[in-house]
Structure 1
Amino acid sequence: MTVVPPMPCRASKAVIQEAAEKYAGKINFLPGDDLFKLVRRLGGQIRFRDFSPGHQRESIHVRSAKDFDLFLPDDTSPLRDRFTIGHELGHLLLHYPVVRRAAGDTPVEMVATRYLPEDASDDVRRCEWEANWFAAAFLMPAGPFIQAWHQTGGDPADIASRFFMSVEAVRTRARSLSLESAAA
């Protein structure tokens, strides 16, 4: 079977984030829900791996839409892992369908790597942006996030604990939603 990188869907950030939120609603995924259970329900397995030099670097290896392995570093925090899982699900849901359509009848496996080489193509870089946009909206949907922002007076630490995310991920999401003082 041929191994190929992800291919961008080329949707706008707004369209990708809207799709991520709709998908979360469709599968009844709420902020803070167990992502390990979700990955198993979708047909995947999560594996922990040493990502030091000399070890394999893939973060998701997709054989089919319902058969994939998601790789996490064995030395990161659970909060970081949550974002990584959301990001890799973005590759599965946004990029694997594009790869399948492009492959036609040819059997392919899509592999998205954790670390991009310096000479990564614009398409591969675009895929990373798209997966990040997906993860942010999937894990921190705009409505509940904005509500939490107002309830906490924009306290990133409090919001992070509500969404089981890192403070940096919360700050980034707040900036993307144009919330006041989000960069503070």
Structure 2
Amino acid sequence: MARTVETIAISQEFTISRRELMLGKFDSIKGPFSMHYSAPYECGLSKAAVDSFASQVATHFGYRPGTSLTPIVEKMGGTIHIQNVLDFNRIPSGSIRVEGPARFEIFLAAHTGPARDRFTIAHELGHYVLHYLYARQNGAQIERLEAQRYGSGRVEWEANWFAAGFLMPTEQFAERYRALKGVIPLLADEFGVSVDAARIRAEFVGVR
């Protein structure tokens, strides 16, 4: 019962966010931006709640598993940058900088593969949705945010949970798992993720 209440509460809160995202009605930010970027703080939601939340976001923005994430990022107001390994002044790859609602940049390494990049993009969207939009709706005084993919603390776990739920929604993943007779490499290819990510997802969903 607690899980249901939590999930409903998240859905109601996100209804406000997605309306703002689509209509461009955001909280005004008074005064000029400072050059300071806040670090993300954990949102405190359960893994199941984050998973459900991520699936709702994916559905709302019309994401179909296995398809390009670039249009989704653009719909949400973001851009994706590929980092040149020879640019020593570059922002660390696998990171996100949020300048404001519907204004963010995701930075990827030039030498990583498609499956890794897709999970990184979804992970960074997790930071944007959970640790910026959701945090602001719950009273956090955040103007700008920067998240770099280092460490393995709770903040990174939450972004990983979001990425898995976004890229591999539970119902669709379970359905395709059964259709593909549980062959993990085929699932990974269909959902555009690594074999390890698909295997971990199968365990979480409870089909393996």
Q: TM-score range by the shorter chain?
A: 0.7 to 0.9
Match of 2:175 among 133, 147, 160: 147
Letter in 2 for 1:94: L
8 A contact 2:54–2:163 mirrored in 1: yes
- Name the counterpart of 1:7: 41
Task: Decide whether aligned partners of structure 1 residues 147 and 98 sit closer, same or farther in structure 2, where only a CA change above 3 A counts.
Answer: closer
Kindly report the root-mean-square deviation, in angstroms, between the aligned alpha carbons of the 2 structures: 2.0
Choose which of 137, 161, 166 in structure 1 pairs with 2:194: 166
1:48 pairs with one of 77, 82, 86? 82
Alignment partner, residue 17 of structure 1 = 51
Residue 46 of structure 1 aligns to a residue whose secondary structure is strand
Match among 146, 157, 176 for residue 204 of structure 2: 176
State how 1:125-144 maps to structure 2 within 5 Å.
125-144=153-172
Give distance in 2, aligned partners of 1:8 and 1:50.
30
The correspondence for 2:69, drawn from 35, 48, 55, is 35
Deviation at 1:80, TM superposition (A): 0.7
Shift in Å, 1:178: 2.2
Instruction: Tell me which residue corresponds to 1:57.
Output: 92
Count of aligned positions: 170
Partner of 1:92: 128
Give the structure with the higher percent strand. Answer: 1
Distance of 1:81 and 1:65 partners within structure 2: 23
SS at match of 2:82: strand
Show the counterpart of 2:22.
Answer: none
Q: Give the drift of 1:51.
A: 6.4
TM-score norm. by structure 2 comes to 0.76
Deviations 1:68-103 (A, max 9, x none): 010011110011100000000000000003554321
d(CA) in 1 for partners of 2:179 and 2:99? 43
User: Do the aligned partners of 1:80 and 1:165 also contact (CA within 8 Å) in 2?
Assistant: yes
Larger relative contact order, structure 1 or 2 (CA cutoff 8 Å, min sep 6): 1
**SS of match in other structure, 2:67:** coil
**Which deviates the most, 29-38 or 55-64?**
55-64
Structure 1: state its 5+ residue gaps. 117-123
- Give the Å deviation of 1:50: 4.6
Counterpart residue number, 2:116: 80
